[in-house]
Chains A and B, each alone.
Chain A
Amino acid sequence: MTDIMREEVGAPKVFDRTAFQAELDALRIREKAHTHEGDAIAAARRRLPMVEVDGTTTLIGPQGPVTLLDTFEGRRQLIAYYFMWHAGHPAPEQCEGCTWVTAQVRELAYIHSRDVTYATFCQGPYEESAQYREFMGWEMLWYSASRESLETLLVGRAGSAECISSATCDRVRKSLRRIGQPLAASR
């Protein structure tokens, strides 16, 4: 069979099998280094400090109000994805990025085995956003969280009493917005 993929078609060059394997092996050295660097970064990530947050923060679930502590479902750890929401807008107008992220969630039994719960915290009314969850065929835990609740969770317990007054809270929110930018750039 003649070459289907030629250089001018904008596809990889065609090599014979031995030469292809040699190139693959050469790249694998970098990929292995990437894997090991990922392991080292994860080890450093496990050595980050942590900040206390208010476990009584209220969210709305299928049975009504629950606390952040409740959303752990008794497990030791929790992963919560903050899902943006545009209240009153139809499904096609909801956040495409958040939808993409949530669509990746599949079999959670493996992380449950590690005593970790996964939940979506949606910044929109519960009934409206739960309909979207059902429409998409998603099965993960789904809670509605107000923007104020999520900001409390991000700011942490220290100073949360002051956040009820605007000046300190505004300063904290502004610094968090600036922090958000470098995180995006560095990753």
Chain B
Amino acid sequence: MAAYGHNAFIRDGDKVYRTYFINSRGDEAMGTTWSYLDMTALGRQEAWEDSPEGYPQTAPYKWWNWHDNYEAETAPDPLWVDIVTDPAGAAIRRREAEAKTCNYS
């Protein structure tokens, strides 16, 4: 038996299922957030993904939590989320905000 490799499991209450297995050169590709999520049954769970009907999906980036912080205060900085999801709009909003606070002396 190949005694090494990556497995993915999903549970439904107390029932556990194995959804995927890969090893050898497949292991080489693992190690990043995306490669791990892409091997799970539910994927990255992002709205752009082609997934079966009813799978959980939300907007990209906004779900990133740092060091397992789920408190509202430690959620990703809204300014950062803005920059990542809408760089052009964020730049305009930043310039407008700076223009308002600019002091001409």
Residues of A participating in the B interface, judged by any CB pair closer than 8 Å: 38-40, 42-43, 45-48, 50-55, 68-69, 72, 76-84, 95, 97-98, 101, 104-107, 109-114, 116, 118, 123, 147, 150-151, 153-154, 156, 173, 176-177, 180, 183-184, 187
- CB–CB B65/A113 < 8 A: yes
A46 touches B51 (CB 8 A): yes
Per-residue contact bits, chain B 49-89, to A (CB 8 Å; 1 contact, 0 not): 11110010000000111111100000000000000000000
| Residue pair B4, A83 in contact (C-beta under 8 Å) | yes
Q: Which single member of B4, B14, B31 contacts A97 (CB below 8 Å)?
A: B4
Q: Give complex CA distance A106, B85 in Å.
A: 24
Total interface residues on B, CB under 8 Å, equals 52
Q: CB-CB < 8 A to A97: which residues of B?
A: 4, 27
Residues of B within 8 A of A180 (CB): 1-2, 23-24
The one of B2, B14, B19, B37 in contact with A69, judged by C-beta atoms closer than 8 angstroms, is: B14
Tell yes or no: B90 within 8 A of A by CB: no
Residues 8-56 of B at the A interface (beta carbon under 8 Å): 8-11, 14-27, 29-33, 36-45, 49-52, 55
Check A46–B66 contact: CB distance below 8 A.
Answer: no
| A98 touching B68 in the complex, CB below 8 Å, given contacts A46-B51, A76-B11, A111-B37 | no
Task: Tell me the interface secondary structure of chain B in the complex.
Answer: loop
Given contacts A52-B15, A79-B40, contact A110 B65 (CB under 8 A): yes
The answer, yes or no, to whether B3 is at the interface (CB within 8 Å) is yes
B10: nearest residue on chain A (CB-CB)? A77
Chain A residues in 8 Å Cβ range of B18: 50-51, 53, 153-154, 156
The residues of B that contact A51 with a CB separation of less than 8 Å are: 17-18
Q: What distance in Å separates the Cβ of B98 from its nearest Cβ neighbour in chain A?
A: 31
- Report Cα–Cα, A153/B1, bound state, in Å: 12
Q: Which residues of B contact A173 (CB under 8 A)?
A: 1
CB distance from B50 to the nearest CB of A (A): 4
Other 12 A-B pairs with CB < 8 A, given A104-B32, A111-B36: A42-B38, A42-B43, A45-B39, A48-B19, A52-B17, A76-B10, A76-B42, A101-B4, A107-B67, A113-B63, A176-B1, A180-B1
